[in-house]
Amino acid sequence: MSAGGFPTRPPKKVADQASLLQIESFIEMMAAERGSSLNTLEAYRRDLLDFADFALTKSSNALEADTDLVRAYLQKVQRAGYATSTSARRLSSLKQFYKFLFSEGRRPDSPCDSLQGPKQTRPLPRVLSEDEVDQLLEVARARQFNDPSPGHVRFTALLEVLYASGLRVTELVSLPLSAVTGDPRLLFVKGKGGRERLVPVSDNARMALSVYLTVRDHFLEKAGVENSLFLFPSRGKAGHLTRLRVSQLLDELAIEAGIDPRRVSPHVLRHAFASHLLNHGADLRSVQQMLGHADISTTQIYTHILEERLLSLVRSGHPLSPDKKSDKDNQA
């Protein structure tokens, strides 16, 4: 970590200090003015340092790069076999960086203005069925009932809240203790870009949190601290439970529940929360607010899941569907 609290990476090469300094200035601006998350800042830094390293191999530098150099870099990324989304993200990082340099008067133009990213087909998010989520919850509850250890109690609370609220896993593990003061029916969450929102908490989730609070001191002791501002304290550097640990615990639960762990993740439960709500009649705008999406177009991806499901039902159940007609022809 740097003095400002931003993640840092030692440069591969130190010859181009001017570019490295401007990259750090850009990162600080994105943190201070845009409120970008640490994960987003690290992604920007990683992309820009990779381009700066590439520029050095071409006897140039990131500050003086022209359109041909940026195009050559994107072609190199494509030849390396990276996903289309990676190429698009790296171009976006460069566009943001050069827009910053232009606004600061450090460049007269942007070498990215005439470049367009690769066309992307947005994949539908992976979603578990309601029965599968129920299966996960039932196994977690049964495990806690049979062995009410602090670890099982904490994980049940995490799982209940993840599915009941649609929180991003980063938002969940970094929740402050104050978020659950007074047995709330709504959680106050600070999400991406510093945007704040209220999310509902189901009765089951509230009950699981209430039980967890009775064993929370166990994790304070493990962390070697007397107090913590976090709801889920841990001895790690961040002071709270990590995203990776939640994913590991969820993988273990999926295996125990007889579900392929590759189909299960904290973000898949967020997708399940949204798609199941819409499937039961929730309106898109409400789901957008609960998920914390800045743009409703991001939320609309879940309507495509419902459309695919309806089409599947028509194909399998309508008397004039190709499958049904084929069955009739075979019977004849």
Q: Where are the domains of the chain?
A: 17-103, 130-312
Averaged over 86-111, what is the pLDDT?
92
CATH of 130-312, one of 1.20.1440.230, 3.50.50.60, 1.10.443.10, 1.10.3720.10: 1.10.443.10
For 57, other C-beta atoms within 10 Å of its C-beta total: 10
Residue type at position 128: L
Which position among 90, 152, 270, 271 bears the catalytic label? 270
**Distance separating alpha carbons of residues 10 and 324, to the nearest angstrom:** 62
Which position among 107, 168, 206, 271 bears the catalytic label? 168
Sign of the Cα pseudo-torsion (45, 95, 168, 292, in order): positive
Q: Could you confirm whether 267 is annotated as catalytic?
A: yes
Q: Could you confirm whether 302 is annotated as catalytic?
A: yes
- Any idea which of 73-82, 174-183, 201-210, 305-314 has the lowest mean pLDDT? 305-314
Contact criterion met (CB below 8 Å) for 275 and 309: no
Averaged over 121-139, what is the pLDDT?
82
Residue type at position 35: G
> Residue 1: its pLDDT value, please?
47
**Distance separating alpha carbons of residues 91 and 322, to the nearest angstrom:** 44
Q: Could you confirm whether 325 is annotated as catalytic?
A: no
Averaged over 86-102, what is the pLDDT?
92
Which position among 126, 197, 267, 324 bears the catalytic label? 267
H-type alpha helices, 58-166: 67-79, 84-103, 130-146, 150-165
> Residue 322: its pLDDT value, please?
53
Tokens 């030692």 belong to which residue?
A: 10
For residue 311, is pLDDT > 80?
no
> Residue 175: its pLDDT value, please?
93
**Distance separating alpha carbons of residues 71 and 241, to the nearest angstrom:** 41
Q: Could you confirm whether 270 is annotated as catalytic?
A: yes
CATH number of 17-103: 1.10.150.130
Query: pTM for the complete prediction?
Result: 0.61
Round the CA-based radius of gyration of the chain to a whole number and report it.
24
